[in-house]
Amino acid sequence: MRSILRGNGSHERYAMDRFHELNAFIAVVEAGGFSAAARRTGDSQSAISKAIGALEKRLGVQLLNRSTRSVTLTDQGQKYYERTKPLLDEIEVADNELSSSTLDVSGLVRIAAASTFGRLHILPLIPALLSRHPGLRVDLVLSDFVRDMVEDRIDLAIRVGTVNDPDSVVRKIASTPLVCVGSRRYFEQHGIPKDPAELARHNCLVYGGLMESANWPFHGPQGRFSVPVRGNLSSNSVETIRSAVLAGVGIGLFAKLSLTDELKHPDIVTVLDDFIGDARDISIVWPSRRFVPARVRRITDFFADALPQRL
């Protein structure tokens, strides 16, 4: 690498050509086409096309599928983008840090979180984040479906619960206890369970799994145990289970942070408190990348400081 950067003029020209090709490639991918990339970079469309062609020739692979309507990544192009984009991000951040006395964080960052958790705890922090870093653009992806961070180009995810991804970088920042709740209306009709075993005769509303295989975790004198539960409603949406509990349909088991407003509601009652000892980790997750943009690290630090204060 040193010979390329500090060698004779031909080496320097070679390095510049490679950098130009890479910039053109990233621009086409993120702008969605050659003409849009040309507008973004200030180059001509023919210059962008020539740079991409030279890059593909040098690598010996096709990076882009071209049609009259769209430009998409090939499998090799996707892999190349995932490896090279963080490198350019690091160069951009390094340039900005040297030229900016305020060390501003700028650019686009995609943040993924579960829907309810994101609405209650991530979204309220976004104004402070953007106020601190006016050059930042945030794409907040809220979904109860765990996103593939590489495929969906997620820069960081904030997850509640166990992270089963050995390739990810996981930073635990807090934890939240579980709570078992129902409405007074429901308990007036069906009674309040005094022991987890009594849940067998209650309508238990299940989040995130099949009703037929649902087990809720509890703690007793003999240690941790689980109780099979059943009911007439299950859903992959926390919002659905929360609404059903409020409506008096049945009992739900939640991470406490999902019930910020409901636990203050006069009709909501927690039950089996003495038997609940489990908690769920709250973690910030990065996709496995050798180079993580400085802005992502700074945003991670922001949430690692701000989120625990809300919980």
Question: DSSP letter string over 173-221?
Answer: EEEEEEEEEEEHHHHHHH---SSGGGGGGS-EEEESS-GGG-EEEEEET
Q: Name the E strands within 59-209.
A: 64-66, 71-73, 107-113, 136-142, 156-160, 169-183, 204-207
Q: What is the pLDDT of residue 15?
A: 66
Sign of CA dihedral 235, 239, 242, 248: negative
Whether residue 98 is predicted with pLDDT greater than 60 in this model: the reply is: no
Q: What is the pLDDT of residue 6?
A: 42
Which CATH code is given to the segment(s) 107-172+281-310?
Answer: 3.40.190.10
Element (H, E) at 21: helix 9-31
As a whole number, the mean pLDDT across the chain is 85
Whether residue 17 is predicted with pLDDT greater than 60 in this model: the reply is: yes
Q: How confident is the model at residue 209 (pLDDT cuts 50, 70, 90)?
A: low
Quote the percentage of the chain above a pLDDT of 70.
88
CA distance 126 to 228: 39
Q: What is the pLDDT of residue 121?
A: 94
Q: How confident is the model at residue 285 (pLDDT cuts 50, 70, 90)?
A: very high
DSSP state of 146: P
- Residue matched to tokens 């993580």: 292
Q: How confident is the model at residue 96 (pLDDT cuts 50, 70, 90)?
A: low
The SS3 assignment for 292 reads: coil
Residue ranges per structural domain of the chain: 2-99, 107-172+281-310, 176-280
Give pLDDT tens digits for 140-199.
999 888 767 877 888 999 999 888 777 788 899 999 999 999 999 999 999 999 999 999
Residue 8 structure tokens: 């004779």
Within 10 angstroms of residue 114's Cβ, the number of other Cβ atoms is: 25
Mean pLDDT of 282-303: 83
Q: Examine domains 2-99 and 176-280 and report if their fold is the same.
A: no
Q: What is the pLDDT of residue 13?
A: 67
User: Could you tell me whether strands 107-113 and 136-142 are parallel, antiparallel, or unpaired per DSSP bridges?
Assistant: parallel
Q: How many residues does the chain have?
A: 311
Give pLDDT tens digits for 223-248.
899 999 999 999 988 899 999 999 99
The highest-level CATH class for domain 2-99 is mainly alpha
Alpha helices per DSSP H over 201-275: 238-246
CA distance 117 to 255: 10
Q: What is the pLDDT of residue 282?
A: 94
CA distance 216 to 253: 8
Q: What is the pLDDT of residue 4?
A: 38
Q: Which residues lie across from 156 on neighbouring strands?
A: 111
The listed CATH number (3.40.50.1370, 3.40.190.290, 3.40.50.10470, 3.40.50.2020) that belongs to domain 176-280: 3.40.190.290
Q: What is the pLDDT of residue 9?
A: 55
Whether residue 311 is predicted with pLDDT greater than 80 in this model: the reply is: no
Whether residue 109 is predicted with pLDDT greater than 50 in this model: the reply is: yes
Q: What is the pLDDT of residue 226?
A: 93
Cβ atoms of 48 and 38 within 8 Å: the answer is yes
CA distance 19 to 309: 43
Give pLDDT tens digits for 39-92.
877 888 889 999 999 999 999 999 999 887 788 999 999 999 988 888 877 777
